[in-house]
Amino acid sequence: AQKVTQAQTEISVVEKEDVTLDCVYETRDTTYYLFWYKQPPSGELVFLIRRNSFDEQNEISGRYSWNFQKSTSSFNFTITASQVVDSAVYFCALSEVYGGATNKLIFGTGTLLAVQP
Amino acid sequence: DAGVIQSPRHEVTEMGQEVTLRCKPISGHNSLFWYRQTMMRGLELLIYFNNNVPIDDSGMPEDRFSAKMPNASFSTLKIQPSEPRDSAVYFCASSFAKHYEQYFGPGTRLTVT
């Protein structure tokens, strides 16, 4: 069965520290998609990245980077030089290509990141 | 471009009342999703539509919940009768196609007293 595990419930860092949020997934499919979303204190869910299972290249976007490793079923997210505005709950999610019709996102339980000034 | 629009943003109602939540997806998106978020259960998918047709409603908690999508630009989630345990934030999301990223609305915070 498909599952997304974010073992870190809460992380607290001081501004300018680097921080890595872990995401481990389980799936039966060989074709799937992985996502990260950010939920700041204001409550909205903000899309950050989508990655398909055939593309294991790491991605960098400004201070954000993502490390996808199929061998360990992990899709970790690193914030470099964290800032107070990065404080939020971060969700990892999985979408399987199951039967060709579904488009469901399976979310992890989220990691609360608190960046202290 | 406008994102996903939800109304109302906040709803307070008494147990037993009917509640209707509304959603306007992003223009051109053909998949629409309703989620519920609570502290206890996290983010749960309630139902999703593809091209206005309900594809999977296995997450709808019980018969008190119903959802419709009469056209490509409008969907409703109705709870009748509402109960205190329905208190949650309800999100609507839309996506362009299968397996594309979903864009979420701001959510409706529902409180049932």
- More reliable by pLDDT, A25 or A61: A25
Q: How do residues A5-32 score in pLDDT, each as one tens digit?
A: 999 999 999 999 999 999 999 998 888 8
- The closest alpha carbon to A8, from A99, A108, A115, A117, belongs to A108
Structure confidence at residue A2 (pLDDT)? 85
Residues of A with CB under 8 A from a CB of B: 33, 35, 37, 43-47, 50, 52, 91, 95, 97, 101-105, 107, 109-110
Q: How would DSSP label each residue in A9-60?
A: -EEEEETT--EEE--EEE-S-SSEEEEEEEE-TT---EEEEEEETT----EE
Residue numbers in A near B93 (CB within 8 A): 45
Q: How far is CA A108 from the centre of its chain?
A: 9
**CB pairs A-B closer than 8 Å:** 49
Q: How would DSSP label each residue in A58-114?
A: -EEETTEEEEEEGGGTEEEEEESS--GGG-EEEEEEEEE--TTT--PPEE---EEEE
Structure confidence at residue B60 (pLDDT)? 93
Structure confidence at residue A98 (pLDDT)? 60
Structure confidence at residue B1 (pLDDT)? 64
Residue numbers in A near B31 (CB within 8 A): 103
Q: What is the mean pLDDT of residues A64-92?
A: 96
Query: Searching chain B, which residue's CA lies closest to the CA of residue A53?
Result: B99
pLDDT in tens, chain B (113 residues): 689 999 999 999 999 999 999 999 999 999 999 999 999 999 999 999 999 999 889 889 889 999 999 999 999 999 999 999 999 999 999 998 766 889 999 999 999 99
Residue numbers in A near B100 (CB within 8 A): 50
Q: How do residues A26-40 score in pLDDT, each as one tens digit?
A: 998 888 899 999 999
Structure confidence at residue B100 (pLDDT)? 81
Structure confidence at residue A102 (pLDDT)? 56
Structure confidence at residue A49 (pLDDT)? 93
Structure confidence at residue B61 (pLDDT)? 87
Structure confidence at residue A97 (pLDDT)? 67
Q: Provide the shortest C-alpha distance from residue A87 to chain B (in Å).
A: 18
Contact state of B99 with A45 under an 8 Å Cβ cutoff: no
